[in-house]
Amino acid sequence: MFRAYEIQPDIYWVGTIEWNERYIHGFSMPLGSTTNAYLIMDEHITLIDTCMPGFEDELLQRIASIVDPARIDYIVSNHSEKDHAGGLARMLAAAPHAKVVTSSPKGHAILQTYVGDEREFIPVKSGDTLTIGTRTLSFIHTPMVHWPDNMVTYSATDRMLFSNDAFGQFFATSQRFCDEVDQSVLFACAKKYFANIIMPYAKQTAKAVAAVRGLDIEVIAPAHGLIWRGEGVGRILDAYEQWCALEPTDSAVVVYATMYGATARMAAAITEAFMAAGISVRAYDLDVSDISDIMTEVMDARYVAVGSSTHNGTVLPPMGQFLTYLKGLAPKGRRGLAFGSFGWAATGTKEIDTVLQGAGYEPLLDPQTCGWNDTTASEEALFQAVSEALR
């Protein structure tokens, strides 16, 4: 039933479409996702990457629509995270003669934990090549984009880069190429993906993008989402260069969790202060907002204000989740503001301040607190305090 789709002469997309997957390690995917694998029909048949665990039948059927999987000679694993290598054991069972090409030493070490060491591995270093017939594939290590083992595979014959996670998007579609879908949706998905997966490794990614710029490329085939071709190649490379710089814009994000509304009123006062100062701002109540959507805006924001009611001596549960996420992803060179309401001790606000400073946010103001039943007079005072700090 599942079919392969030819994307270049003798190169087929054989990936899987996760139409109804909505989360991957905390990242929301409202449009689902694809996990891309590519089959190169050369003298030595080569598969680039595999699939998520549970999607092996789809991958195998797409391959079998072109060739018996038993004839595969090489499986190139650009990255050993489960979404790309989770199907490796089933693929090796279906392709009993296939050798596994992976980065040395990190990819090799990780893949051995998946499939043992009885099958033949070809561990490769940056610059190594593998001739598969009319094509010679070359491998470039891209460590920490976003795991230590990452590499990309380049086919000069096809002017094609198999970039794995880099340049990906979580976007399930029946189309395969970037120019076949709405560009605003495509780039919104690509930016959210960068902010939530790639951002902590922006320096390493900038080096990888510079290395890619040195190649003659017509097509970038990532491991998630749409394939970049034509003008799309330059546009996504330009976008990555801009995103990797992590230059803040004159904008703010206000994120809060509220119990009975006092912290929400503080958030409104802070939001108004940013607006009055002419700074673009968005406010997010964590009861109704998604942390990975917020993070896409945090990536650009010069200011982040974070508030919670104090509850059981700490922050409310949704704020705990947000702070955990922020700790791992926070861009540097920004200013932060902790705020929140309390009943008898503002310990939740102190906790937020500690996390913000630990993540590298320079305080815009001392932590701002208010009693849970304070009058609107304290909201006006908060508006004035933030306005003053922004002058």
Give residues in contact with ligand FEO (CB under 6 A). 79, 81, 83-84, 146-147, 165, 223-224
Shortest CB 146 distance to ligand FEO, Å: 6
Task: Between 329 and 365, name the residue whose CB sits nearer to ligand FEO.
Answer: 329
Q: Is 141 a catalytic residue?
A: no
Among 58, 79, 300, 353, the active-site one is 79
Task: Between 18 and 379, name the residue whose CB sits nearer to ligand FEO.
Answer: 18
Shortest CB 150 distance to ligand FEO, Å: 8
Residues in the chain, overall count? 391
Task: Between 212 and 304, name the residue whose CB sits nearer to ligand FEO.
Answer: 212
Look at residues 62, 78, 60, 80 and name the one whose alpha carbon lies nearest to residue 70: 60
Shortest CB 90 distance to ligand FEO, Å: 18
Task: List, in sequence order, every beta strand (DSSP E) within 57-135.
Answer: 74-77, 99-103, 121-124, 129-131
Q: Is 193 a catalytic residue?
A: yes
Q: Show the CA angle centred on residue 286, arms to residues 310 and 292, nearest 5°.
A: 130
Q: Is 81 a catalytic residue?
A: yes
Among 12, 193, 256, 284, the active-site one is 193
Among 84, 108, 141, 146, the active-site one is 146
Residue least distant from ligand FEO (Cβ): 81
Name residue 341's beta-bridge partners: 370
Q: Is 79 a catalytic residue?
A: yes
Among 42, 165, 272, 379, the active-site one is 165
Task: Between 224 and 350, name the residue whose CB sits nearer to ligand FEO.
Answer: 224
Task: List, in sequence order, every beta strand (DSSP E) within 180-247.
Answer: 219-222, 228-229
Shortest CB 114 distance to ligand FEO, Å: 14
Among 18, 56, 83, 158, the active-site one is 83
Burial of 326 (0-12, 13-18, 19+ CB in 10 A): buried
CA distance 255 to 264: 10
Q: Is 224 a catalytic residue?
A: yes
| Contacts of residue 372, Cβ cutoff 8 Å, sequence gap at least 6 | 259, 260, 262, 309, 341, 342, 343
- H-run or E-run covering 281: strand 280-285
CA distance 208 to 73: 28
| Contacts of residue 184, Cβ cutoff 8 Å, sequence gap at least 6 | none
Task: Between 81 and 353, name the residue whose CB sits nearer to ligand FEO.
Answer: 81
Shortest CB 200 distance to ligand FEO, Å: 13
Task: Between 147 and 167, name the residue whose CB sits nearer to ligand FEO.
Answer: 147
Among 84, 108, 224, 311, the active-site one is 224
* Contact status, residue 233 vs residue 217, Cβ threshold 8 Å: yes
Task: Between 56 and 83, name the residue whose CB sits nearer to ligand FEO.
Answer: 83
Shortest CB 292 distance to ligand FEO, Å: 15
Token readout for 32 is 């689902």
Among 42, 81, 158, 353, the active-site one is 81
Shortest CB 147 distance to ligand FEO, Å: 6
Peptide bond into 248 cis (omega under 30): no
* Contact status, residue 101 vs residue 74, Cβ threshold 8 Å: yes
| Crossing angle of helices 291-298 and 183-193, rounded to 10° | 90
Active-site residue numbers? 25, 79, 81, 83, 146, 165, 193, 224
